[in-house]
Amino acid sequence: MAEKQHVDFWFDPLCPWAWMTSRWMEEVTRIRDVEVDWRIISLGILNEDNPDNHHNGHVESMWMVRVIEAAAQAHGAEYYKKLYDAMGTRRHPGGMKDEAQIITESLEEVGLPADLAGAKDSEDYDAALRESTEAAQKVAGDDIGTPCIAVNGVGFFGPVFTPAPKGEEAGRVWDGALALASYPGFYELKRGREKGPDFS
């Protein structure tokens, strides 16, 4: 019997590419023996020293991750994934841009108190967000973005898809990622993107 594989998946609900990869990861958990720990990587923190990035200096880039972190601390780690799904569905396939509305509706959907929305303006959660972001950088390197995954402790940026693989195709792609992660000398595999996110 194959050994259960462990994945750490770092996401920011702002990132459409992380959303695509997370849908692939969900498919993988249905057809392979894989467990996933869902964790936050903050685009606001990653780009705080990058003045050319549109997340730099925009406090709104911290809103959703702060609320997710606050919810997880107060109500349990399962809310990393529950709120990510609720927010990401609205933000990406749903096309919503109003982050305050996304937060309000998502909290209601998962049955959490509405006053958690106030966490978006609180820096009290930023230390935990920074620690989680730095954990991703520790396993995958400083020059990363979202998505970021670690397979059995081996981390890398990506994979990036459009659209996300489904069914057994998702499993075959996972098998390839697992093979690459198993080789200690593997570092990078990349090609130029010609298409935007396809949420179909």
- Residue pLDDT, tens place only, 11-35: 999 999 999 999 999 999 999 999 9
Domains of the chain, by residue range, sit at 5-182
Tell me phi and psi for residue 33, to 5 degrees. Answer: -85, 80
Instruction: Kindly compute the dihedral angle of the four CA atoms of residues 62, 67, 70, 76, in this order, to the nearest 10 degrees.
Output: -130
Who's near 17: CB < 8 A, 6+ residues apart? 146, 147, 160, 162, 197
Q: Which two tokens mark 141?
A: 């390197």
Task: Judge contact between 130 and 139, C-beta under 8 A.
Answer: no
Binned at pLDDT 50, 70 and 90, residue 199 comes out as confident
Summarised one tens digit per residue, pLDDT across range 33-91 is: 999 999 999 998 987 766 565 555 467 889 999 999 999 999 999 999 999 999 999 99
Closest CA to 69 of 15, 13, 5: 13
Tell me phi and psi for residue 49, to 5 degrees. Answer: -110, 15
Q: Which two tokens mark 195?
A: 């298409």
Tell me phi and psi for residue 125, to 5 degrees. Answer: -100, -5
Binned at pLDDT 50, 70 and 90, residue 103 comes out as very high
Residue with tokens 């006053």: 115
Residue with tokens 């809103």: 63
Please identify, in words, the CATH class of the domain defined by 5-182: alpha beta
